[in-house]
Amino acid sequence: MRTYLTAIFLTCAACALAAVGSDDDDASRAHIDIKAAVARLPRSTSSSDGLVRVVATDVPGDEIGFRAPILNFAMREIRAIAKTYNINAPSVKEPAIVIYAMDGHTNDTRVVSRARRRKDIVSTRIWLPSPGFSDLELLRVAVATAYLRACSLDFPEWVVQGLMRGTSIDVEHEDVRFVLKLWSESRLPFFPALCTDLRAARGKGGALAGFIVSWMKEKKTIDVWRKRFAAGEKWDGKRLAEDLTGESDPIWQDRACDERLVRLTNSVLSPGRASEWDLTVFASRLLLYPPFFDKIYGANRTYCTFDEAVALAERNPGVRQSAFRKAREVPLYAIGRGDDMAAVAFAYRDFLLALSQDETDAERQKALLEKAQELWRKVCGEQKAEN
């Protein structure tokens, strides 16, 4: 980079010296050479607030070049973070982020970022060796990190990635569902480890960072960390875990995370639509838990399926009582998840009410159960087709 700029300025100096002379023709030629040298200098485009500047060479045959597209790309990311988390950058006298789009002709995908501090002002330089081939995800991370740094938020990279994921409500909801799935399968790491040892991840692993940052947003701890950074404190994952859970003991912190996940289990993330996770939760509720079921029948389990309940209801009042309670609960699991899920829930409710009120009409109960199961299979098939 330094060699490239040095060569440009030496060319300009040589042209300027060539312009000195008494011969008009020589002076004219020198003037043309100087204009040509200036034309070869990289040009810059700045954002309206002066926060971001993009320096790039012209692209032959392309009047737009790389400057405007790169600036628009960077400003979209900055505006999304600023709007989502109410993080506004301070006014600046010089650009806080300078992006250099080099004129490389290779397929170099690197994005090189360097921060520097001068007179308590932090600025970031980002180099794109070959802007036509640069990894856009790496560029997003570099721009977001630089912007947060300019806002006195010196977060580690995994937090930055979580903040970026939170700018899309759909991605944020998918992150919650992914973490819920890990948790339901006992594969979610120990919560304090998520705050202290979580490495920057891409792809599905980034959902863990998104989950932590969504909790930070909910607890409004981003402003707390801004004040801490301004006071000269360093990032500390242990303090983050305490902020989010209100507990100092790691065991209780993990328990607080479990309690939050329990609340999220029944939350409506996508109104009017049942996600795969919603179907999983609904299916887990299609069981009855009669009192002393395991002791009476020696089944080594405390529940029975709806099919089993039809045969047991006639001689077991506990099954009928359990069915009556379940009839009131089932519709609640479908609230806000679309008309199809509501139809399924009410069909199961009709079956459960019939089971609780008339223990002798097994044929009617079976017919109502088959109707509910048919609607349920249809909803599951549609969800599978979407995926």
- Which sequence spans correspond to the domains of the chain? 1-41, 43-151, 159-265, 276-386
DSSP codes joined into one string, 245-302: HS-SSHHHHHHHHHHHHHHHHT--SSTT---HHHHHHHHHT-EE--TTHHHHH--SSS
Of the candidate ranges 45-49, 142-146, 177-181, 248-252, the one whose mean pLDDT is the lowest: 45-49
Of the candidate ranges 137-151, 243-257, 295-309, the one whose mean pLDDT is the lowest: 295-309
- What is the predicted pLDDT for the residue at 136? 92
Enclosing H/E stretch for 337: none
Question: pLDDT band at 8, cuts 50/70/90?
Answer: very low
Task: Yes or no: say if 87 and 222 are a contact pair by the CB < 8 Å rule.
Answer: yes
- What is the predicted pLDDT for the residue at 29? 56
**Dihedral sign for Cα atoms in the order 255, 260, 266, 269:** negative
- What is the predicted pLDDT for the residue at 361? 82
- What is the predicted pLDDT for the residue at 28? 59
- What is the predicted pLDDT for the residue at 297? 57
Of the candidate ranges 4-8, 122-126, 130-134, 352-356, the one whose mean pLDDT is the lowest: 4-8
- What is the predicted pLDDT for the residue at 25? 57
- What is the predicted pLDDT for the residue at 201? 54
Whether 365 shows a pLDDT value over 80: the answer reads yes
- What is the predicted pLDDT for the residue at 331? 92
In the predicted model, what is the mean pLDDT of residues 308-318?
86
- Residues with Cβ within 8 Å of 368's Cβ and at least 6 positions away in sequence, in order, are 347, 350, 351, 354
* CA pair distance 211, 206, nearest whole angstrom: 9
- What is the predicted pLDDT for the residue at 328? 93
In the predicted model, what is the mean pLDDT of residues 366-385?
91
